[in-house]
Structure 1
């Protein structure tokens, strides 16, 4: 009995097919999927594998900008200047923005307020 070889996907080729002139972050995303697995990259980014697949072929109907920000932060080591904490990874910034209010520490309260009071990196609408 022979074991069939698993067909490998050329994620970069799929991205170029779907996007034509693919943005840099899409190529980085495709290369990351080729290095590990699409499911592993999706989990790291906080998305489903199907969302990442759709993004790679330019058919994702959700917030592509959010995926781009997460790719830049996690896979491209993009940094921002936080008004409260100084230089930080973009993904850390996004994680702080996503945290609900919790009076568990003065730092957490201060960050909650900072993310919602005109921070230029905040993605929160109407905050």
Structure 2
């Protein structure tokens, strides 16, 4: 007997059924191909990152950002991966803070979404 599907995948499945995979993918910041492969159980990427983005974008999970305060988890992940911008004081603070923050999933900020 297989384990029950995690709540975040169930919600991703329901959202994709209601809005379609392209809109769902846009909401969580991934491609339609990623949403499709996650729902099929064949995704070869970082499942934890997808889970955290779904939790932030679709489930309303927030983290306490040391720079910005309460912040949706998916926006937190965006900030972790955003490129350094010396012309923006907030981006400078985030660049330094995200590297050692307990909410960081361990990736080095590199810019762009997965």
TM-score (norm 1): 0.78
Aligned twin of 2:30: 47
Structure 1 residue runs without a partner (length 5+): 1-18
Residue aligning to 1:95: 78
Q: Rg: which structure is higher?
A: 1
Give secondary structure in 1 for the equivalent of 2:9: helix
Query: Quick check: 1:60 aligned with 2:50?
Result: no
Matched position secondary structure for 1:75: helix
Tell me: CA distance 1:124–1:61, structure 2 relative to 1, closer, same or farther (3 Å). same
Unaligned 5+ runs, structure 2: 110-114
Instruction: Measure the CA separation in 2 of the matches of 1:38 and 1:73.
Output: 17
Give the superposition deviation at 1:125: 3.6
Matches within 5 A, 1:4-83: 20-83=3-66
RMSD between aligned residues: 1.7
Q: CA distance change for structure 1 residues 39 and 125 in 2, over 3 Å: closer, same or farther? A: closer
- CA pair 126-97 structure 1, distance change in 2 beyond 3 A: closer
TM-score, length basis structure 2 = 0.86
Aligned counterparts of 1:46 and 1:91: Cα–Cα separation in 2: 8
Tell me, yes or no, if the aligned pair for 1:97 and 1:124 is still in contact at 8 Å. Answer: no
Bigger relative CO (Cα 8 Å, ≥ 6 apart) = 2
